[in-house]
Amino acid sequence: MDPSEVEFIAEKEVVQIIPNFSLDKIYLIGGDLGPFNPGLPVSVPVWLALNLKQRQKCSIVPPEWMDIDKLEEMRELERKEDAFTPVPSPYYMELTKLLLNHSSDNIPKADEIRTLVKDIWDTRIAKLRLSADSFINQQEAHAKLDNLTLMEINTIRAFLLDSLNCMYKLRSNLQPGSTKGQFSDY
């Protein structure tokens, strides 16, 4: 899957905005939004929040977890624990990138947040590689992957699945040249 598709899915997450315009309730196919009143916070999907922000029609309220103290705590925990710790949002990486790139003026200490989230990401990816290696080493048939996010899975997906398929071929000694089982997503 292309990372931009993962981002596309993340854009369905809901954030709060403070609009500077008024508009009645909108009945979208995916659900109702609004009404919008100047200065009154309202929940909208990220794709709409970013669009309104780009047109200077709102400010975006950063999610609660996008806060230096909370993220520092999370980073320490992530470094201390061997297992993957629960993340504040299944799209923490995508939301950080989207909101910091398009709405950094609404987010206090944006640069520090970016670094903290990247640190958390790096720690988790290192763990992911460690677990992938042990999964391959032990020749496991099943792994529990709680707390892993789609973006994290996605960075290792093709490599890990192709490796597992290679092992399957080596083990079952399939005819060489067969492309059976090569990973591709559609």
Partner 1 sequence: MSDGLSEDGSDINQEDEDVMTPAELIAKLEEAWLNEKFSPELLENKSEVVECVMEQLTHMEANLQRVKKGDAKASIHRMEIDRIRYVLSSYLRSRLQKIEKYFPHVLEKEKSREMGDASLLSPEEFAFAKEYYANTETYLKAMALKRMPPNLQTIDMLKAVPEPCLDSFVFLRVKERQENILVEPETDDQREYVVDLEEGSQHLMRYRTIAPLVSTGAVQLI
Partner 2 sequence: MESQSYLPVPPGVGMEENFLSLDDILLSHERLPTRTECTFPRLGFLEKSTDSPDILETFIGRFRRTMDSSQNAYNEDTSALVEKLDSLEKALFKSGQSGLNGFQSWEKGQASQLTASSLVLNYRKRKINDVQP
Q: Cα separation of 108 and 62, whole Å?
A: 9
Residues 6+ apart with CB under 8 A from 131: 143
Nearer to partner 1 (CB atom), residue 56 or residue 139: 139
Going residue by residue from 28 to 67, which x/- string records binding to partner 1, judged by CB under 8 A? xxxx-x-------------xx--x----------------
- Judged by CB under 8 A, the stretch of 17-25, 51-59, 84-92, 136-144 that binds partner 2 is 136-144
**According to the binding rule CB under 8 A, does residue 165 interact with partner 1?**
yes
Region 141-170 residues binding partner 2, contact defined as CB under 8 A? 151, 154-159, 162-163, 166-167, 169-170
Nearer to partner 2 (CB atom), residue 20 or residue 155: 155
Burial call 52-65: b when 16+ CB within 10 Å, e when fewer: bbeeeebbbbbbeb
Which DSSP string corresponds to 79-133? HH-SSPPPPS-TTHHHHHHHHHHHHGGGSTTHHHHHHHHHHHHHHHHHHHHHHHH
As a whole number of Å, the end-to-end CA separation of the chain is 8
Residue 10 binds what, of partner 2, partner 1, none (CB under 5 to 8 Å, by partner type)?
none
Number of residues counted as binding partner 1 (CB under 8 A) = 46
Out of 14, 21, 86, 130, the only residue in the binding site for partner 1 (CB under 8 A) is 21
**According to the binding rule CB under 8 A, does residue 185 interact with partner 2?**
no
CB of 6 to partner 2, least distance (A): 8
Phi, psi of 36 (to 5 degrees): -105, 125
Cα Rg of the chain, angstroms:
21
Which residue has 């789609």 as its token pair?
Answer: 150
Residue 137 binds what, of partner 1, partner 2, none (CB under 5 to 8 Å, by partner type)?
partner 2
Out of 82, 171, 173, 176, the only residue in the binding site for partner 1 (CB under 8 A) is 171
Residues 6+ apart with CB under 8 A from 129: 156
Residue 181 binds what, of partner 2, partner 1, none (CB under 5 to 8 Å, by partner type)?
partner 1
